[in-house]
A and B are shown apart, each in its own frame.
Chain A
Amino acid sequence: MPTFDFNDDSVVVIIGSGAGGGTLANELCQKGAKVVLLEAGARQSPATFINDEWKSFMQLAWLDPRTTSGTWRVAKDFPGLPAWICKTVGGSTAHWAGASLRFQPHELKARTTYGDVKGATLLDWPLTLKDLEPYYTRAENKMGVTRTHGIPGLPGNNNFKVMYAGASKLGYKECNTGRMAVNSRPRDGRASCLQIGFCFQGCKSDAKWSTLTAEVPKAEATGKLDLRPESHVVRIEHNDAGKVTSVVYHDSAGKQQRQKARAVCVAGNSIETPRLLLLSASSKFPDGLANSSGQVGKNYMRHMTGSVYAVFKDEVNMYRGTTMAGIIQDEAGNNTKRGFVGGYEMETLSLGLPFMAAFLDPGGWGSDFAWFMDNYTRMAGMWLVGEDMPRETNRVSLNSSVKDKWGNSVPNVHFDDHENDIRMRDHAHMQGEAVYKAAGAVKTFRTPPYPSTHNLGTCRMSANARDGVCNKWGQTHDIKNLFISDGSQFTTGAAENPTLTIVTLAIRQADYIAGQMKQRAI
């Protein structure tokens, strides 16, 4: 692997190696660009991943201090942990479950479709599904998404059997093991799924697509990638002309380094990405980089989420097998007769005993709680994930009263559920319970949201520079050689798990960046 010189200003610096950054790095390297990939976390591998929830959490999760505010329940249950995302090479693709769904056409036109929803800052995306389709196809092929490109679906586990039985009794038509970036057959040098049941802890059989094992090694093989793990970026610098020129980071030894760059792509997930732009404020850009619109950090979305767990008379053993290979899509469309705009997906979910204790009913105790735990092997579970409303007041900002170990202000994540989010969650909980009752549940439980895994929108793309941070290529409106390359660019959240779309946008962005460099526009 080459080590590019700190003063080599011909390299593209990418900050973050997750779904967006890791994919972008590989795509650019394949086109011959020199890439320095800075990742705050350490490098693991399928061999070092751990089949143990707490140990894996300590190994992979982003645990730097963060604060929360707002009326969302996460602020009460997990005040220092607004998000369950990763600090490791591969980012949160180490943790993700693999659900890979395309957006629906109307979701890219949220403002037009849903209208002027009070208290929401809805906007149409500056691109359409047609623009994205060829890139979705490339992303699905790259990731080996089941039920695309002739790849068979995954076999359903016990948890899916329960979901399917309830869904069909209820009259739902769209229930199957889903489109998953988890190999149902060996593919692309990675093995097929062994139904281990620890998808969230890093896939030890390497059946699940991740940038750690699928993108980074391919990029390394080009000889164009300089991956620097344990490199925490604290500042992006610019010149008098207002172009970014370098990034400052702390390396694995804690030493401060400065890497020059031709272009900088920020992919630190939707909390760290806006934080870094805000931390990089200068006399020229006193409100932070790329923030002439004032939108950096705003419109934070985290999906309407919730879960339903149900106890049955007989054994389920839901923890066995691919965690999220099971979906009901009948509620995913926009049907305002339900009392809300947008839609939601219902996806199988399981937690091991330690995390079930932590997440079933955070703060809960007593004999009812104990009863659910006593019946752990008879439980089935599903996750509910739907489109939430962007709001200007839901935002990531700097909390100057709390500093991280580098002395920088930590991010505060403020969130209040929109009325639409609450109505959708109520509906989703009701339908989730109905599915399990139809399958014969003895008792059901409505679990509140976990710390956010889908963090979106804090540097959103917009047609007009007034309304957002970047254009339809993820290029910031203010600074031509500064790009947003993760879920922060999402204009709205859509109902679907975001990773496939993040990867799709990264492939598309790589084409654009390569073209811009060729034309010497950047």
Chain B
Amino acid sequence: MKVVPIIGGAPPISACSEESGTVPRLDLPLTRREFLQGSGVLTGTLAVGSVLVTLAPSRSWAIELKSLSSAEGETLMKMGRVLYPHPKLPDAVYALLAKDLDADAGKSAETLKLLRDGVAALDKAAGGSFASASAGKQLEVVKAIEGQPFFNAVRGKCITALYDNDIAFATFGYPGASWDKGGYITRGFQDLKWLPNPPAAASPPSGR
């Protein structure tokens, strides 16, 4: 299977360059559709003008699931959007949630069962299909299971899956590493203009 990453693979700490300070990030492993062989696949297309387009090799993306089905993956993506609704964040990021949960399911039969049963319960509570239920119904269904193990597993995973990747960084305007760019000493650490500057006694001039 050929994996086309955005920038590097899923990098270990040792992949961080000591010389340049470059920190490769958890990326979105985009996979060529024709090579997919797993239990499920999640696909999508990035909107024209999306921040992700500049980060990805192509506008189409696909993620292979090894344990969960496509339908289960899509339901988890939808649940992620109910938990952390960010209209600006493309589906590709919520697909990372499904991918990370799928990876956990691949390591533990118990987790696989927890997720499978949880997804089935979501569908049941939504009257058949959680993924195609109204936004209001989805929220109601998720609220009803707050604090339960399935809810906790998905919500907890959201924190790292949704907010620790290049696409989220670009979407929310967080640049990540700054050492490789010389920090912010000459790049706007005090560029806020809508409040008066503190006096020099409180905030002395920079030594550089």
Give chain B interface residues in 23-79, CB to chain A under 8 Å: 23, 25
Cα–Cα, bound, A374→B174 (Å): 11
For B184, give its contact among A192, A197, A440 (CB under 8 Å). A197
Which stretch (B91-99, B102-110, B117-125, B165-173) binds chain A? B165-173
Q: Which of A58, A158, A315, A370 is the one whose CB lies under 8 Å from B189?
A: A158
Q: Are B163 and A353 touching (Cβ within 8 A)?
A: yes
Q: Which A residues are CB-close (under 8 A) to B197?
A: 161
Name 13 interchain pairs, CB-CB below 8 A, sorted by A: A158-B191, A160-B198, A161-B198, A184-B204, A192-B208, A196-B179, A317-B173, A352-B176, A353-B172, A354-B159, A367-B85, A373-B84, A376-B174
Complex interface: chain B residues within 8 A of A184 (CB): 204, 207
Which segment of B1-9, B13-21, B126-134 sits at the interface? B13-21
Asked if B148 is at the interface (CB within 8 A of a chain A CB), the reply is no
B86 contacts A370, CB within 8 Å?
A: yes
Q: Nearest Cβ in chain A — how far from B153, in angstroms? A: 13
Contacts A54-B164, A152-B207, A177-B203; is A376 near B172 (CB within 8 Å)?
yes
In the bound complex, CA of A366 to CA of B158 (Å): 12
Q: How far is the CA of A374 from the CA of B163 in the complex (A)?
A: 11
Chain B residue nearest to A184 in the complex (CB): B207
Min Cβ gap A53→B in Å is 8
Stretch at the interface among A44-52, A89-97, A124-132: A44-52
A423-456 interface code vs B (CB 8 A; 1 in, 0 out) = 0000000000000000110000000000000000
Chain A interface residues (CB < 8 Å from chain B): 47-48, 50-55, 58-59, 152-158, 160-162, 164-165, 175-177, 184-185, 192-198, 204-205, 313-317, 319-321, 352-354, 356-358, 363, 365-367, 369-370, 373-374, 376-377, 439-440
Q: Which residues of A contact B206 (CB under 8 A)?
A: 155
Measured in the bound complex, the distance between the Cα atoms of B11 and A462 in whole Å is: 50
Please give the residue numbers on chain B whose beta carbons come within 8 Å of chain A beta carbons, in ascending order.
13, 16, 18, 21, 23, 25, 83-86, 88, 155, 158-160, 162-164, 168-169, 172-180, 182-185, 187-192, 194-198, 201-208
CB < 8 Å A-B pair total = 172
Minimum CB–CB distance for B111 against chain A, Å: 18
Q: Could you tell me if B190 and A157 are in contact, using CB atoms closer than 8 angstroms?
A: yes
Q: Knowing A51-B176, A353-B169, say if A373 contacts B21 (CB, 8 Å).
A: no
With the chains together, A232 CA to B208 CA distance in Å?
A: 42
B contact residues around A315 at 8 Å (CB): 192
The answer, among A51, A156, A377, A440, for a CB contact under 8 Å with B178, is A51
CB <8 Å contact, A196 and B201: no
Known: A176-B201, A353-B168. A193 touches B16 (CB 8 A): no
**Contact of A195 with B185 in the complex, beta carbons under 8 Å:** yes
Q: CB < 8 Å: which of B16, B155, B163, B190 contacts A158?
A: B190
Asked if A160 and B84 sit within 8 Å, CB to CB, the answer is no
Bound Cα distance from A452 to B16, whole angstroms: 28
Given the known A-B contacts A156-B190, A157-B189, are A195 and B183 also in contact in the complex, defined by CB atoms under 8 Å?
yes
Contact flag A317-B188 (CB < 8 Å), given A54-B164, A197-B178:
yes
| A84 CB, nearest partner CB in chain B, Å | 16
Chain B interface helix/strand/loop/mixed: loop
Docked-complex contact B163 and A373, CB < 8 angstroms = yes
Question: B183: which of A58, A59, A197, A377 is its contact (CB, 8 Å)?
Answer: A197
Contacts of B190 in A (CB 8 A): 155-158, 161, 321
A contact residues around B169 at 8 Å (CB): 353
Docked CA distance A185–B206 (Å)? 9
Q: Could you tell me if A156 and B198 are in contact, using CB atoms closer than 8 angstroms?
A: yes
Q: Which residue of B lies closest to A52 (CB)?
A: B23
- Chain B residues contacting A156 (CB-CB under 8 Å) are 190, 198, 202-203
- CA separation between A408 and B23, bound complex, in Å? 36
Q: Which of A204, A374, A440 contacts B88 (CB under 8 A)?
A: A374
A165 with B23: CB separation less than 8 A: no
CA distance A58 to B198 in the complex (A): 37
Residues of A within 8 A of B202 (CB): 153, 156, 164, 175-177
Closest to B195 in A: A165
Q: Are B205 and A155 in contact (CB under 8 A)?
A: yes
A157-B189, A194-B185, A376-B172 known; A165+B196 contact, CB < 8 A: yes
Q: How far is the CA of A164 from the CA of B204 in the complex (A)?
A: 13
B-chain residues with CB within 8 Å of residue A367 when the two chains form the complex: 85
The answer to whether B198 touches A357 (Cβ under 8 A) is: no
